[in-house]
Amino acid sequence: MSLSDKSVLITGGGTGVGADMALAFAKQGARVFISGRTTNSLEKVASNHHQISAVTADVTDETSVKSMFDQIGAMDIVIANAGAAESAPLVKTDLDSWNRMIAVNLTGVFLTLKEGLINMNGKEWGRLISVASTAGLCGYSYVAPYSAAKHGVIGLTKSLALEVAKKGITVNALCPGFLNTEMTDRSVATIVEKTGMSEDEARATIAKNNPQGRLIEPAEVSAAALWLCGNGSEGINGQAISISGGEI
């Protein structure tokens, strides 16, 4: 695959899956822009490849998202990857926590895809990809706001896919299971704190969700994103692609 004529935006590109995607796309020749709120993290990722540039932005703020696209220009590929997770029983979840989860995990995707599509105006080819989760395909206990937001991302993806179906643009969602990333590290720490399990026991408990008995690697999500941008992917539109070892 060569993406040497393509430009890519990846939100949440300073850590985890976003950082892995950035390097994967850059290695295929694409000009990659990564965004996030933490400049140091973004610059560290950008330093790994000359094709990667960093731009600071907050996907929950419409003005910030518009400014981000003003800085980087029209993109061929827009990947709405930024997200965050918090865990608590629903009865102990306050409105602020709910609003935070909806803002970053759903509103942020809406704003990113909306502005990305506007900036693709006139292009005969484009790819819009949202990074959702298996939590958007089923329910998980103690993360109801996160799961609700990810379900919303999948609904948004499917609806937008129909709107652009005749424009040479596809819209799809990637739905990984529990990932071997910093976000899962934080979940492990929470389990250890609240249950007294060892770190290994907590990690094994999370991995059991995957029938393969393991965490999904970021590179597996990157590979799926590259596939959606390669030749032969034109008919893949409006899909929520589970990357979960058979869990869903």
Give the integer Cα–Cα distance in Å for 51 and 21.
13
Element (H, E) at 174: strand 169-176
Count CA within 13 A, CB hemisphere, residue 213. 1
Sheet containing strand 126-131, strands side by side = 52-56, 31-36, 7-11, 77-80, 126-131, 169-176, 240-243
Give the integer Cα–Cα distance in Å for 238 and 240.
7
**Per annotation, catalytic residue among 25, 110, 146, 178:** 146
Residue 142 appears among annotated catalytic residues: no
Give the integer Cα–Cα distance in Å for 81 and 75.
15
Give the integer Cα–Cα distance in Å for 82 and 150.
12
In the chain, count H helices and then E strands: 9, 7
Helix-, strand-, coil-residue percentages of the chain, each rounded to 5: 45, 15, 35
Residues carrying an active site annotation: 146
